[in-house]
Amino acid sequence: MTAPYPFSAIVGQDQMKRAMILTAIEPGLGGVLVFGDRGTGKSTAVRALAALLPPIRMIEGSPTNAERAEDSPDWAPPPDGAIVERPTPVVDLPLGVTEDRVTGALDIERALTRGEKTFEPGLLARANRGYLYIDEVNLLEDHIVDLLLDVAQSGENVVEREGLSIRHPARFVLVGSGNPEEGELRPQLLDRFGLSVEVRSPTDIEERIEIIRRRDAYETDNAAFLAHWRAEDAAIRDAILAARAAKPDVTTPDDILRDCATLCTALGADGLRGELTLMRSARALAAYEGAAAITRDHLRRVAPIALSHRLRRDPLDEAGSVTRVIRLTEDVLG
Amino acid sequence: MSGAAAWARALRALSLLAIDPEGLRGLHLRARAGPVRQRFETLLFTLPGPARRIHPDLSDTALFGGADVAATLAQGRLVWQEGLATQPARLILPMAERTPPHLAARLAQLLDREAGHGLILLDESAEETERAPDALIERLAFGLDLNETGWQQAQATLPAPADLDAARAHLPEIRLHPDHIATLTALAARFGIDSLRAPLLALRAARALAALNMRDTPNDDDLREAAELVFAHRATQIPQEEDEAEPQDDTPPPDPETDSADTDETQGDIPDDMLIDAVAALIPPGLMERLQNARGVRGMRGAGAGARRKGNRRGRPLPSRPGKPDGRARIDIVATLRNAAPWQPLRRQGESGARVIIHPSDIRLRRFETRSDRLLIFAVDASGSAAMARLAEAKGAVELLLAQAYARRDHVALIAFRGSGAELLLPPTRSLVQAKRRLAGLPGGGGTPLAAGLLAGATLAAQARGRGLDPALALLTDGRANVALDGSGGRAAAMQEAYEVAGYLRALSLPAILIDTSARSAPETAQLAHGLGAQYLALPRADANRISTAVSTTLDATAR
């Protein structure tokens, strides 16, 4: 399997790239939803992001990627492996996946052949401390969505079935992508995503040509292409690490909090999740750019991706919510 | 495009696939089973590399590997079974139009992984609304149609294997000129192809063609042929020339042979227009209609509120049944053990050591009862008489119902009838934004072909049933039919036909509601509702709430 397409080599799609970098800096944001047409590089960006993420430290062989022995669930094999560095897990959740595969279930083979009751961890365990990527998230079956909503909210996966009573931590960043033409996303799930981005096929011919040129170089002259972009990817990774370190020191002026609240009330966003996400993502952006405090400029740039999917919306309203957010941001922030 | 030309094109696609299987991924073939397709498949299996035949009901275990429960039990140790996709192979999928979304998603991911897998979709769809999943078609380089090709026309065969091998060896040497990239990308944009996979695949095809012709760099003929092969079936628009006013399908498509003869004279850079003509000639007539139909037709899943259906994955539990685990059904452990329990003393006599001895025949699988998705078909009368009266209000009522459909996660479809016939404005979808947009753009005027509208509704309902949806019809009309099915006028005949079609719909036992949009409701309309077995509601006296309540009651009747 070849190395994924480099993140920095993705042409355009600045909003999408910014949103992904922000979640890498602040995993608490709650993930990204990327909605757009086919062939716009949604999956490419997600896979590229995986290569960009700093590795995590974990106990070797831990089914939930635990770093410390006390985090290891009691059903897992004893946590006595060495501490190793592993790439941040990015787990694909395919459509049509069964509930067993997601939550984990009784290990049927062992139960039948050896009469032992053991737990076979599922995708949620593997995604702990990493990313869970759902392509075509709007086509996901409802019962799987319900399950994810619950786990994404509580950060814990609870399995009560087939005589098993198991719980383990499942904190992950949810990354979803989909094509809105094919179906709507349930509002409850929409709300669980911290940021949302709409991507379109670039209409500019030059930009399209550049994309094809790079992609072609990636496919035909892989080694040289990767070598060329590796440095830029490394620069972004360093910037992400630096931003993670700098994030606690970024100050949040009271004016900015007031702006966040005004903006969210003006947009009629439900709940307080909007304000929190707006503030957190602005802080991550400020940290990424090396600013000492959040400014209105940061707010202005993250508002569309943090708020556009939170508007109290009429399901039939087709006016672009991004446009509404931008217009209101201009009104509120001046 | 003649049958022989289609066959030549198919051969070309196959040769290119033989040269660059990784880059081109595969092809989508529309052809009914028959000698021509048989011949195509024979050639397909002569291509180098392993080929595996799969089928739309394939389980995940079979595709990706997993534990073989039956063998595990028989041998008393864990037996793994290798999946079809573990090794890179060309996967051949017949009956591709029946591919369930979850398999399509898995296969799409497999292709994206770039592990050397290819995919051949053999699409046997008979109707326009059936189609292999777009997500897969989009990832494959070629789209072929051999439905019009006769046995006599399918005589030509592939180049000699030695030539193909030589071309494959030559492929890494091919160098592209930056202009090639620009030309193909710009061309894709002019044909309204949004996805950037298309120009990439066309570049790959151009490379493979150059290799086949033993050139070091693709020339103009290679580019044109690559564009023809990759873009023709993807085009969503035909680039409009200033002087080309007449519609494409009126003129017979120019023969590709003469076309290339023309362009041979122009050495050097071929103008884009020439390329456009070459591709446009291959675009099948009626493409636009097919696109309209195909868009959004996709078996979407999700727990609906429709009729009950038995499944093995979710829903209300039913008693478990014996069966073979296939990786999708869940094993009911308790029932399995309970079934094995009485036999334990007997079985232990033969063996020792094992605590529980379970045989494959003991396995019980879980079954659940679920509800299928509901489809609400709106048949809207947009005739002159209705437009005069209250088309706007009818639209308002539909919007109200749409909002309700959204809350219930129903699918919606929109049929409009006016003038001489009915038109499917929106095939079944859950995208309400689309529904609203199509509705808003609905013009009024013309006669009232009520029978045609009802018939279109009935056809759509039957198709939806075939796909596991549970249809219901909401008919909005003033009931003043004056156009018969054959397009002739005459109120009496038109009404008579409408009653007949209504009887047909009633026989389908399709839950329906008729919303009378006329200013003064006529007794005929109520009679029509009776003929349909539909609930009748006169809009003049109906406010928003009454409409929603009435529709809910009607629709809930489906669930019972």
Domain CATH for B431: 3.40.50.410
Residue B124's domain is classified under what CATH number? Answer: 3.40.50.300
Model confidence at A284, pLDDT cuts 50, 70, 90, reads very high
Can you give the pLDDT at residue B316? 64
* Strand ordering across the sheet containing A90-92: A90-92, A130-135, A172-178, A32-36, A195-199
pLDDT(A12) > 50 = yes
Residue count of chain B, please give it: 560
Final residue belonging to a domain, choices B347, B371, B395: B371
Residue count of chain A, please give it: 334
Are B446 and B517 in the same domain? yes
Residue B209 located in a structural domain:
yes
Nearest CA in chain B to A38: B195
**pLDDT under 70: residue ranges of chain B:** 1, 66-67, 69-70, 72-74, 76-78, 127-130, 239-318, 325-329, 350-354, 369-372, 385-391, 393-394, 407-408, 539-548, 550-560
Are B44 and B110 in the same domain? yes
- pLDDT, one tens digit per residue, over A170-226 is 888 888 888 776 666 777 777 778 888 888 888 888 888 888 888 888 887 888 888
Three-state DSSP class for residue B409: coil
- pLDDT, one tens digit per residue, over B445-488 is 778 888 888 888 888 888 888 777 788 888 888 777 788 777 77
Higher-pLDDT residue of A55 and B316 is A55
Are B232 and B379 in the same domain? no
Query: Of A182, A219, A226, which to mutate for an interface test with B (greatest number of B Cβ within 10 Å)?
Result: A182
Are B357 and B457 in the same domain? no
Residue B61 located in a structural domain:
yes
Residues 6+ apart with CB under 8 A from A31: A23, A131, A152, A173, A174, A175, A176, A192, A193, A194, A195
Residue B49 located in a structural domain:
yes
Are B365 and B438 in the same domain? no
Residue among A110, A273, A296, A313 flagged as catalytic: A273
Measured in degrees and rounded to the nearest 5, phi and psi for residue B438 equal -65, -40
Are B381 and B329 in the same domain? no
Structural domain boundaries, residue B238: 3-289
Can you give the pLDDT at residue A312? 61
Residues 6+ apart with CB under 8 A from B219: B210
Final residue belonging to a domain, choices B256, B289, B322: B289
Can you tell me the distance from the alpha carbon of B276 to that of B227, in angstroms, rounded to the nearest whole number?
A: 9
Which residues 297-316 of chain B have a CB within 8 Å of chain A?
298, 300-303, 313-314
Are B337 and B451 in the same domain? no
Can you tell me the distance from the alpha carbon of B402 to that of A19, in angstroms, rounded to the nearest whole number?
A: 33
Can you give the pLDDT at residue A285? 92
Average pLDDT over all residues of chain A: 81
Any B CB within 8 A of A82 CB: no
Can you tell me the distance from the alpha carbon of A268 to that of A257, in angstroms, rounded to the nearest whole number?
A: 17
Are B263 and B394 in the same domain? no
Final residue belonging to a domain, choices B321, B347, B371: B371
Residue B458 located in a structural domain:
yes
Are B171 and B257 in the same domain? yes
Are B137 and B236 in the same domain? yes
Q: Do A40 and B186 count as a contact with CB atoms less than 8 A apart?
A: no
Can you tell me the distance from the alpha carbon of B173 to that of B85, in angstroms, rounded to the nearest whole number?
A: 30
For A212, which of B77, B102, B199 is closest by C-beta distance? B199
Residues 6+ apart with CB under 8 A from B169: none
Q: What is the mean pLDDT of residues A115-133?
A: 83
Residue B18 located in a structural domain:
yes
Q: Which residues of A touch B138 (CB under 8 A)?
A: 38-39
Any A CB within 8 A of B328 CB: yes
- pLDDT, one tens digit per residue, over A320-334 is 577 777 777 777 776
Any A CB within 8 A of B406 CB: yes
Are B88 and B7 in the same domain? yes
Counting DSSP H helices and E strands in chain A, the numbers are: 13, 11
Any B CB within 8 A of A221 CB: no
Can you give the pLDDT at residue B381? 82
Can you tell me the distance from the alpha carbon of A327 to that of A316, in angstroms, rounded to the nearest whole number?
A: 20
- Lowest pLDDT segment from A69-73, A225-229, B228-232: A69-73
Number of other CB atoms surrounding residue A172 within 10 Å: 27
Can you give the pLDDT at residue A181? 67
Can you give the pLDDT at residue A287? 92
Residues 6+ apart with CB under 8 A from B459: none
DSSP state of A6: P
Residue B69 located in a structural domain:
yes
Handedness of CA B121, B123, B128, B129 (dihedral sign): negative
Active site residue A38: no
Q: Could you tell me how far CA B119 lies from the centroid of its own chain?
A: 17
Q: How far is CA A130 from CA A31, A66, A125, B20, B344, in A?
A: 11, 11, 10, 36, 45
Are B223 and B267 in the same domain? yes
Q: Do B103 and A96 count as a contact with CB atoms less than 8 A apart?
A: yes
Can you tell me the distance from the alpha carbon of B120 to that of B17, in angstroms, rounded to the nearest whole number?
A: 10
Set out the domains of chain A in order of their start, with CATH numbers: 7-199 (3.40.50.300), 248-333 (1.10.8.80)
Residue B300 located in a structural domain:
no
Residue B298 located in a structural domain:
no
DSSP state of A7: G
Q: How many domains does chain B have?
A: 3
